């Protein structure tokens, strides 16, 4: 009897009439738009593939060659560079492809661009329930000049860890707190800059939006991620301290990013460096505490606003920040604009300033007075604080 009912359900699901109705619901305009936009975006990136950046010759190519010369996967246990082994696993697999190192490295980042755009589509769809806004988010993500330059001209992997930050955000918006912690942990295993999103995770934990037991995802992911390298001969303690060594690698207080340390561009000071880290930590802790003690309701819109605030605030107050560290802030600015269309200028400012910093590194050009750019970024930061403050005030009104 149960078997018959099951067959009837299958028949109802796949009968010809239902299939016809499903086909009618397909929006072919959207499919064609996405296909064309993706093709054009990829062609634009391929045009930039011949560009060889300083980072490619100084870091990426030597890492690739070291892996290839020592057996690809067999070499993942070697002391290669200052990244976590997660990225080297990908690079080791690339050595088996019949592609030049330049094309292979950039291709991975460009694929991550597309997946990031897909996740932006899904996040905006969940936030707004608007297919048109979702399509705009997809297209804008792929065509942000800073995103194009980062992957296809610079060969950087910022789209990879930012993708996992967006996945983490998307998960918590859907009430999937375990996945939220899992994806955040993976983002951290690609780049330490995932820590820009850490204050949001902390607030979600303190406000019990995320179950505290899910924090165990972090050490679990860390352990699982480094084990292939350890099994291939890497030093376990060395892998546990990668980010500690990385933190002291750069001496300049500002590395051409429009933040609070820009006035000390090209200045080195060990004393200011240490004080600056504690200063930044104090500022961020104050902001976290004020949000925690407030009666702000953690709606989806407010979580996005807090995300936009903190992924900008952290690199804004920290010393030793690089040119491209506003990459997650620019992506979050796009999400912020999708729910606050009248504040589109926040995205325009963040995109312009990130593009300016990237262009300076790649082509030695500046489009605007650097000090003016700092003022613009500060204005965006104040706007985010104002948006959060308005939501904090709301329950009391």
The reported pTM is 0.91
Q: Are 315 and 284 in contact (CB under 8 A)?
A: no
In a domain, 278, yes or no: yes
Q: How many CB atoms lie within 10 A of CB 345?
A: 14
Per-chain mean pLDDT for the chain? 90
Report yes or no on 135 lying in a domain. Answer: no
Give the pLDDT band of residue 291 (cuts 50, 70, 90). very high
In a domain, 169, yes or no: no
**Residue 335 covered by a domain:** yes
For residues 27 and 25, give the distance between their C-alpha atoms in angstroms, rounded to a whole number: 6
Rounded CA-CA distance 205/207 in Å is 5
For residue 129, tell me if it sits in a domain. no
> What is the Cα–Cα distance from 188 to 197, expressed in whole angstroms?
10
Structure tokens at 101: 């190192």
Is residue 352 situated within a structural domain? yes
Interval 26-76: pLDDT, tens? 677 888 899 999 999 999 999 999 999 999 999 999 999 999 999 999 999
Distance CA 280, CA 262 (A): 14
Q: Which residue's entry shows tokens 């590395």?
A: 255
Residue 396 CB partners (closer than 8 Å, separation 6+) = 295
Residue 63 lies in a domain: no
**Nearest Cα residue to 284 out of 263, 257, 311:** 311
Residues facing residue 268 across a β-bridge: 252
> Could you give the number of structural domains in the chain?
1
Any domain includes 325: yes
Q: From residue 89, how far is each of 83, 106, 229, 293, 305 by CA, in Å? A: 11, 15, 9, 42, 34
Tens digit of each residue's pLDDT (9 = 90 or more) over 198-237: 999 999 999 999 988 999 999 999 999 999 999 999 988 8
- Enter the tokens of residue 354: 């990130």
Range of the domain at 336: 251-397
> Band of the pLDDT at 397, cuts 50, 70, 90?
very low
**How high is the pLDDT of residue 26?**
60
């Amino acid at each position: 009897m149960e078997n018959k009912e099951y067959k009837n359900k299958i028949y109802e699901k796949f009968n010809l009439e239902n299939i016809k109705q499903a086909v009618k619901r397909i929006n072919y305009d959207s499919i064609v738009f996405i296909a064309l936009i993706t093709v054009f975006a990829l062609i634009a990136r391929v045009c930039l593939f011949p560009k060889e950046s300083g980072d490619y010759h100084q870091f990426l190519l030597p890492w690739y060659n070291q892996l290839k010369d020592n057996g690809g996967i067999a070499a993942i246990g070697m002391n290669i560079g200052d990244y976590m082994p997660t990225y080297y696993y990908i690079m080791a697999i690339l050595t088996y492809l019949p592609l030049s190192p330049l094309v292979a490295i950039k291709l991975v980042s460009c694929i991550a661009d597309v997946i990031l755009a897909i996740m932006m589509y899904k996040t905006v769809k969940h936030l707004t329930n608007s297919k048109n806004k979702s399509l705009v988010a997809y297209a804008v993500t792929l065509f942000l000049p800073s995103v194009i330059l980062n992957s296809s001209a610079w060969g950087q992997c910022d789209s990879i860890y930012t993708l996992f930050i967006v996945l983490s955000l998307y998960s918590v918006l859907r009430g999937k707190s375990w996945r939220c912690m899992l994806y955040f942990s993976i983002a951290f295993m690609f780049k330490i800059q995932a820590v820009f999103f850490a204050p949001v995770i902390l607030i979600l934990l303190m406000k019990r939006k995320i179950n505290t037991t899910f924090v165990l995802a972090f050490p679990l992911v860390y352990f699982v991620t480094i084990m292939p390298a350890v099994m291939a001969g890497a030093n376990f303690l060395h892998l546990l301290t990668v980010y500690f060594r990385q933190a002291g690698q750069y001496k300049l207080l500002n590395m051409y990013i429009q933040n609070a340390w820009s006035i000390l561009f090209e200045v080195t000071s060990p004393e200011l460096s240490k004080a600056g880290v504690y200063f930044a930590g104090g500022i961020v802790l104050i902001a976290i505490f004020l949000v925690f003690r407030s009666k702000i309701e953690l709606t989806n819109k407010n979580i996005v606003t807090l995300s936009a605030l903190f992924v900008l605030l952290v690199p804004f107050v920290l010393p030793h920040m690089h040119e491209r560290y506003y990459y997650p802030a620019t992506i979050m600015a796009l999400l912020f604009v999708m729910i606050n269309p009248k504040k589109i200028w926040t995205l325009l400012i963040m995109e312009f300033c990130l593009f300016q910093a990237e262009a300076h590194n790649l082509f030695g050009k500046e489009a605007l007075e650097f000090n003016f750019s700092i003022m613009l970024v500060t204005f965006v930061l104040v706007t985010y604080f104002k948006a959060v403050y308005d939501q904090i005030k709301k329950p009391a009104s």
